[in-house]
Structure 1
């Protein structure tokens, strides 16, 4: 297909008044964009469109934490899947390159690209092509697949496991105690992000970065956080139930290396689920790498269902 792109307009939206334009392409995040703009998690200058006349062909957008001046993740990259008169991937590539040049510091490593995808998307031709189109856009700009993750959900009405009595749970004593346990838990981790961090820094530094970048930012009560111990007080693991900007979540769950293989993961996850279920939340969300089979199985045993997946791509 030979197509001219001279008549394309590539630009950021002007503000919330153009959300209807931006949302002409469907995606599950559309319903959150207005609140994200109002709360500062997004900015109009981070939300770009590719237009031919008044026709929306592609769009991209970054997300960050409120008040941050730097995009944290590229989480919207869409093309008009019904367009047959243009090279959809080429249009989106042009848009992503233009938006990246205008939005991110020169020579800076771009934030990760994260995309929600249907479960088992590779087995469904109707889902596979759109996902592969978006991945191709990122690959053309130098990105690569980093990890695929499962998104899981516990819903009211699902059983809440009762304590087995094998473990005792108590609140986290202080930040230092949690950091020490997080550092120990990184030994043998199956989490792709953690494994990547360990190639670049010591385990203690990786734990501290995870704490500062994620856990310290939650506004939900820290007395929800639990240390799991044996009856004699020896730590076995920990769980971080929390609430992010959108849902109640199991933010972090780990069993220490010396205690793996005894099924304690079920007890620790059950405690985190009990803490959040007691808050009458409409759902509890969690995620884990597709390759972290033990964790995924633990969530399924606890009544969590896989409702979605995530593709994460990075630029080296």
Structure 2
């Protein structure tokens, strides 16, 4: 069989075809039904490639409820039962067909994100899957952006006691937070921020980040904290919150003039303390593999690396 033989590529019809869509295993399968109900996914954003009644490949995009277009491709799988060449060909053909319908003409395709085990390079099946999928994505213009750590704090993990070096207060208003978010982009190690800075001014990048993430948290904004020196000078900030799925440390940063002094540990502890006070089952966070200072701070705070993401983007 080749990928050209009797292949049907189409979106699913709705909830009634979720069983079909989930025939290929992936960690996000259990979230798809709720996402469809909540409007974070649409049947027209969920595509399958079928040979008869056999599911050979699938792709699904994610977006905010009410959005006209998605901004993340986070499900993309090809049946392992095909040859390597067929897997890459199938993936390419599915994505080309679906993108022509899902993404408006002339629009940059949404970023691709793949969840993988922390040791994915040492696991043949996971390594092969990443290689095949990224090869298919490369054929339609995607390029690697970053690999990220997904981290989790679990109840019972000790939280660092306040050192007394910093004071914490609520964020005054959105403008104050945006000003600080703009400042911390100077010298940032975060790949997404650096990508944004290559396309737009720092202030615009900060606004974009806020509007696409923090503005959508379901939790109160008075959880957000500014860290200051005793005289009131801001040192950094943390934005603990609850997204569509989990309690999260949504943003954590130290201002450029105060980096290298160990303040990150106190700021992260404050954000963790705020969330843990609400009897959460877990706290999630993420940082780039290459952002060593941030990764080390989470490690010292007892956050466990339970997963990684592979992110690709389009120029």
Instruction: State the TM-score, normalized to the length of structure 2.
Output: 0.97
Larger mean Cα displacement after TM superposition, 285-294 or 200-209: 200-209
Structure 1 unaligned regions, length at least 5: none
Q: Secondary structure at the match of 1:87?
A: helix
Shift of 1:196: 1.6
> 2:9–2:97: 8 Å Cα contact kept in structure 1?
yes
Which residue pairs with 1:227 in the alignment?
A: 226
Q: Secondary structure at the match of 2:298?
A: helix
Which residue pairs with 1:62 in the alignment?
A: 61
Q: Secondary structure at the match of 2:268?
A: helix
Shift of 1:58: 0.3
1:85, 1:77 → 2: CA distance? 16
Residues 140-169 of structure 1 deviation map (CA, whole Å, 9 limit, x = unaligned): 111110111110000111112221111101
2:141, 2:175 → 1: CA distance? 39
Q: Secondary structure at the match of 1:81?
A: coil
| In the alignment, structure 1 residue 148 sits paired with structure 2 residue 130 | no
Which residue pairs with 2:107 in the alignment?
A: 108
**CA distance 1:292–1:85, change in 2 (3 Å):** closer
How is 1:159-238 mapped onto 2 (pairs within 5 angstroms)? 159-238=158-237
**CA distance 1:136–1:85, change in 2 (3 Å):** closer
Shift of 1:4: 5.2
Which residue pairs with 2:45 in the alignment?
A: 46
Shift of 1:84: 4.2
> 2:3–2:89: 8 Å Cα contact kept in structure 1?
no
1:81, 1:186 → 2: CA distance? 41
Shift of 1:122: 1.6
Which residue pairs with 1:305 in the alignment?
A: 304
Shift of 1:3: 2.3
Q: Secondary structure at the match of 2:211?
A: helix
> 2:3–2:86: 8 Å Cα contact kept in structure 1?
no
1:153, 1:82 → 2: CA distance? 34
Which residue pairs with 2:273 in the alignment?
A: 274
**CA RMSD, aligned part only?**
1.3
Shift of 1:69: 1.1
| In the alignment, structure 1 residue 296 sits paired with structure 2 residue 295 | yes
Which residue pairs with 1:157 in the alignment?
A: 156
Which residue pairs with 2:133 in the alignment?
A: 134
**CA distance 1:85–1:306, change in 2 (3 Å):** closer
Residues 279-298 of structure 1 deviation map (CA, whole Å, 9 limit, x = unaligned): 11111000001110000000
Q: Secondary structure at the match of 1:122?
A: helix
> 1:3–1:86: 8 Å Cα contact kept in structure 2?
no
1:15, 1:289 → 2: CA distance? 35
